Structure formats: structure tokens, C-alpha cells
Chains A and B, each alone.
Chain A
Amino acid sequence: MADSVKECGMRWEALFILWLLFPASVALGEGPQELEPLPAPVLSSPLFPCSSCHTTEPGASLAGDSHPVIRVEGHTEKDYDCFVCHNRHDMDSLILFSGLTAPLGSSSRLCGQCHSTNFRLWSEGLHGKLVGRWDGPRKITPCTACHDPHRPGYDAYVPEPPPVPPEQTLWWRR
């Protein structure tokens, strides 16, 4: 009886070690292939990097028109101030909810905190666009390639011309 309990204990230890090792085995490439994002575009090119102006801690509002690139709409309109996403102590980095900082380009980590469904699809290559080869190396567009983080809705598009109806196309019916 005592022996069997001992065996049980050993099994639990083994399972515990396996549990500890599990994330490592996933990271070693047994899970689905991770997609690398393309470099993020610079969103405010004339003003970049932010620290060229912001040497001290800035105010929380977009005063005046000092940021012509940022449209006050969507995320910037209400509810949030700049420092939900931007690090108030270092304007060249972003701040996550955990308190960790992230470089300005790593939008997926920041956006994924709230938009978890889209983040999951994005990391599987199903949200956003894959660029490269279908059979080999391909990269995925980062969030900010399509969505302006200050106003994440999609812009309206001017559609390309429609097909010409057949009655206008064929020379004997013109």
C-alpha cells in the first residue's frame, strides 16, 4: 500500500516536470509555424521620433494642431488619453497594461490586449494580409499597416471601374 502511494507521488513529480517543460516544447517549433510581421510603417513621419520634441513628460491632450497626422476620431476622440498606449516617461515606446514597455513598432502586442479575437486570427495568418510566397517564407502585415491606431476604422475606398455591360461592348451593338 505504502509503495503504491510512493509510486503515485513519483508520477506527480514527473507530470509536474513535464508541465514545466511543456511551453518550451511548444516554443521549440512543435506548434504551428509562427508568422513574422512586416516592419511597421512610421505613422507620423515629419514628427518622428517623438523624443525630438517631447523631452519632458507631455500633457494628456492633443493641444492645437501640433500633430496634424493624428485625426481626433475613434480611439483619440474620447475614453482614452494618450498614455493608455504611449509611455509617459519615454515617448519613443509604448506601454502595455502589465506595465511593460514595448517599442513603437510592436503594435500587435498593444492592440491585442483588447482586440484578442483579431489578435488570435492575426497570429494564425487569418487577419491581415500575407506577403511573400504561398509555399515558403511569408510575412504578415502588422496592425498599423492597415489601421491607423488613432482612428482604427477602415478608410472608405474608391472602387475601380465596373465592367462595361455587354450591350455597350460589342461593336455590332454600339
Chain B
Amino acid sequence: MKPRSLSRRDILRFTVAGACAGFAGGCTNGFDWGGFFQKRFQEMSPAELEKTLLRLERKYRRKYGEPFQVTATPPRERTVFGFGLDLSKCIGCRKCVHACVRENNVSRDVQIHYIRVIRLPEGELELEKGDHYYTPAAVPEEGYYYLPVSCMQCENPPCRKVCPVNAIWTEPDGIVAIDYDWCIGCRDCMAACPYRAIKFNWTEPVIPDDELNRKTDFLSNRPRVRGVVEKCHGCLHRARKGRYPACVEACPTGAWKFGNLLDPGSDIRRALERFRTFKLKGVLNTVPRFFYFFSTG
């Protein structure tokens, strides 16, 4: 008798059975199927977003314990956020850096800082002559000035252009946002960003339990995982509720300015009208919404 060969039907049968077994196994192992089928943030309908937020809350509660809140604060009408920095006032104390780290659940062990305070010798604006590892006993130091650099929230962001999966986009209020669930970790954006503002999670982020900020937002400070990029998002969970970003709030000298670029009475517009400002690496046509200026000598 001729040995029976595998028919097309048998192969299909085995494949389907295997997939079912795998699915069942996956379910019992607690595989995050909801996360597997989660859409890109911009493509979610309000109902889907609601479901996703609830699922993320459950997930983070399991991981970090109660209470945990994930929201998706919508952008405001007729608002474009802009940052300003008074270089005459910046004393290089790095209060903004660490306030940002505490606010945004940024990894502590493998360190990620959104803001890099660059110490430059007086009379220089050549960033390669700068040093951001300075550790004097006291600041400000004679003969130096300090230039904090974070994400510039560009109007024409190179990171958005190079992202192969459209995980980076510009929000209606001018914040360049990243969908951490959609990022594939290719780090093209890091290479494209001329300000080196984007940071990569090389390991699972380590955050001490007592320092975890449990009020989070989908696009800003919810916990990240290994293998995704992150960057300054203008503290949009605070800014969209009318609060100042953590760096602006923490600055002891008031060097940081923040406000709505469309409102003539806002802090940033007053600064733009009063001082001559410049943008960092303006020649690259990234059109930053981050303005530097010297208020005095």
C-alpha cells in the first residue's frame, strides 16, 4: 500500500490546531493580547482609546501597585506651546533636569535625562566646546555660561520625518509626541535629531517605588519599557491643564519661560517682544519652538 502523504487539508488542519493551541497557551501565560492589537494613538477612536487607557491602568496597577492613573489629556484649542530660556539667568544648577526626571518617570539606573545643561566658555556658542558633565562645588562659575538643551518641539522635526512607523507626530498644540507602544526602537530619530534630545531605553527603566509618579498620561509620563525611545514632551499632562512644566516650576531663577505662542499676553510672547532671541542650530531649518535670549549683558 502506498504510504499516505500529507494532504493540503491535513496541513491546514495542523496549522489551525497549532495556532489555537498557541493562542490558548498565550492566554494562560498572560500574554497581553490587547496590547498586541493596540492601534496607533492617532488612529484610535474615542471608545478604543478609553478601552486602551483602562487596560493600561490595569497593567500598570499589576506591575506597580495601586493607585495608578493613565489619562489622555486632549490638546487645547488655539494653543501652541513655546519655550523660552534666559541665558543671563541660568546658573547651571540642574534643578530643571532632576525635577523633570522625578515628574516623568524617567529611568534612574540606566540614566536618562531629557534636559542636558551644557556649560560653555564665555564667548563661545560652539556646542562641541561645551561640557555637560561639569561638577564644580558651586555654580555659577566664573568665565562660563550654561545652555540647557532639551527637545525643541520643532515645527519641522527631523525625527518625525525619519520615523519608519509614524510613531512620532506633532500634536495640534505643537508638542512632538511619541507613541511608546508603536515605537519599534530603531533609533533613526536619535540619529536625525540635531539636538540629541531623544533618548533610548537600553534596559527596563528602573524607578524607585516611592519616587514613581502615579498620575500619568498616555503621551507623556506613563512608564516606558525596554527598547523604546523617549524625549521631552513639554510636560503635556501638566501644560494642557494650565500648569507650568516641571522644569519651569523648578527653576530657582525664573530663567525658563513657557506659554502659548498665540496669546500676546503670555510669558513667552512678552519675552519674544522684549528681547532679541535666537534658535539653536536655526540653520538646519528645524524651526524650533524653543527660544534662547540674553536678558542682560
Residues of chain A having any CB pair with chain B under 8 Å: 32-33, 117-118, 121, 124-130, 133-136, 141, 146, 154, 156-165, 169-171
Q: Which residues of B contact A121 (CB under 8 A)?
A: 274, 295
Q: How far is the CB of A64 from chain B (nearest CB, A)?
A: 30
Interface size class of B (residues with CB under 8 A): 35 or more
B160 to chain A, nearest CB (A): 25
In the complex, residue of chain B having the shortest beta-carbon distance to the beta carbon of A160: B94
Find out whether the CB atom of B132 lies under 8 angstroms from the CB atom of A126: no
Q: Indicate if B278 sits at the interface (CB-CB under 8 A).
A: no
**Distance in Å: Cβ of B39 to nearest Cβ of chain A:** 31
Cα(A26)–Cα(B91), bound, Å: 37
Q: Which residues of B contact A158 (CB under 8 A)?
A: 93, 137-139
Interchain CA distance A162-B132 in the complex, whole Å: 7
- Chain B residues 113 to 144 lying within 8 A of chain A, measured CB to CB, are 113, 116, 132-140
Looking across the interface, which residue of chain A has its beta carbon closest to that of B109? A169
A128 and B243 in contact (CB under 8 A), knowing A157-B93, A162-B134, A163-B132? no
Chain B neighbourhood of A128, CB < 8 A: 254
Structural contact, A159 and B202, CB atoms closer than 8 A: no
- Judge whether B251 and A129 touch: CB under 8 Å: yes
Do B138 and A134 touch (CB < 8 A)? no
Residues on the B chain within 8 Å of A159, using CB: 92-94, 134-136, 138-139
B242 and A163 contacting across the interface, CB-CB below 8 Å: no
Residues in chain B near residue A133, CB distance under 8 A = 242-244
- Asked if B191 is an interface residue, CB under 8 A from chain A, the answer is no
Establish whether residues A126 and B270, one from each chain, have CB atoms under 8 Å apart when the complex forms. yes
Contacts of B252 in A (CB 8 A): 129, 146, 157
Asked if B116 and A163 make an inter-chain contact with CB atoms under 8 angstroms apart, the answer reads yes
- Supply 21 A–B pairs (Cβ within 8 Å), ascending by A: A32-B265, A125-B267, A126-B86, A126-B257, A126-B295, A127-B254, A129-B251, A129-B254, A130-B244, A134-B266, A157-B91, A157-B93, A158-B139, A159-B135, A160-B93, A160-B94, A163-B97, A163-B133, A164-B111, A170-B202, A170-B203
Q: A134-B260, A162-B94 are in contact. Are A126 and B271 (CB under 8 A)?
A: yes
With known contacts A146-B253, A157-B139, A134–B91 Cβ distance under 8 A = no
CA distance A124 to B270 in the complex (A): 7
Report yes or no: A125 in contact with B270, Cβ–Cβ below 8 A. yes
Q: Which of B283-297 contact A (CB under 8 A)?
A: 295-296
Any A CB within 8 A of the CB of B174:
no
- Chain B residues near A127: list those with CB within 8 A: 254, 295
